[in-house]
Chain A
């Protein structure tokens, strides 16, 4: 069963799914069966706006931690998504080519970006945030953004 940490800032509700790890930027990684699936947090997708295009590096691409694995164009910004872990891209979400809005609609589920075979998961994990830690950072980011308005 899906469990979230949830906060409301102004009129927006932001969710952090509790079963995965995060970067401060808002990229998540979920390890299952030796493969890591990555995607965008609810906060990152909401603040970035409707996604027009999502270009993911092709399967077979070998990435280092922090290297660009995707570029995402929204109605507001162009985002370069940095990989939260090192490894080889095994599969790109096939839905993204025709329906990139799935990232907005279901960021923790159907809106995943790609699956990576990790080459140094233990090391990368040490640099990722537990959901509770990311939740606090995300709340601060959201409140800071609100102050700017």
Chain B
């Protein structure tokens, strides 16, 4: 991957649902704390609104989506915007593997929800590392 390119992280915009909040917390952790140099968060709302800069960003960079549920709005909007989804992740799948981390609350997630977001963020970190390594090898 060239120096200019970043892995774009797009979380669910499910405002008002715990799973959406978990998705966004995971995205913030990756883009602000874990991998700030190699990732960039693009809010799903910008794609929905047809923002040209957001559309160009997803068209020209690898994208990881973190969807809250099976509706997969983030994935659908990336595809509709002309982008390619390098990796698709869903909060529900991670919760099924970590039943003790039941997310509750919306503006304030419970401890289970926060831990689930960290589990997802760690998985996204690995994907980002793979994508950036691949990109580096390819030039």
Residues of A at the B interface (CB closer than 8 Å) are 49-50, 52-53, 73, 75-76, 101, 104
The answer to whether A101 touches B95 (Cβ under 8 A) is no
Q: Chain B's nearest CB lies how many Å from the CB of A56?
A: 16
From the candidates A53, A76, A104, name the one contacting B70 in the complex (CB within 8 A). A104
- Chain A binding surface SS class: loop
Name 10 extra pairs, CB < 8 A, besides A75-B92, A76-B17, A104-B70: A50-B70, A52-B92, A52-B95, A52-B96, A53-B99, A75-B17, A75-B19, A75-B68, A75-B69, A101-B70
Q: Chain A's nearest CB lies how many Å from the CB of B93?
A: 10
Q: What size tier do the contact residues of chain B reach?
A: 10 to 19
B17 / chain A contacts, CB cutoff of 8 Å: 75-76
The answer to whether B69 touches A50 (Cβ under 8 A) is yes
A52 / chain B contacts, CB cutoff of 8 Å: 92, 95-96, 99
A75 / chain B contacts, CB cutoff of 8 Å: 17-19, 68-69, 92
Q: Chain B's nearest CB lies how many Å from the CB of A123?
A: 38
Q: Residue on B with the closest CB to A73?
A: B102
Q: Residue on A with the closest CB to B71?
A: A50
Interface residues as binary, B67-109 with A (CB distance below 8 Å gives 1, 0 otherwise):
0111000000000000000000000100110010010000000
Q: Give the 7 A-B residue pairs with the shortest CB-CB distance, closest first.
A: A50-B69, A50-B70, A75-B19, A75-B69, A50-B92, A52-B95, A52-B96
Q: What are 19 sample pairs from A and B whose C-beta atoms fall under 8 A apart? A: A49-B69, A50-B69, A50-B70, A50-B92, A52-B92, A52-B95, A52-B99, A53-B96, A53-B99, A73-B102, A75-B17, A75-B18, A75-B19, A75-B68, A75-B69, A75-B92, A76-B17, A101-B70, A104-B70
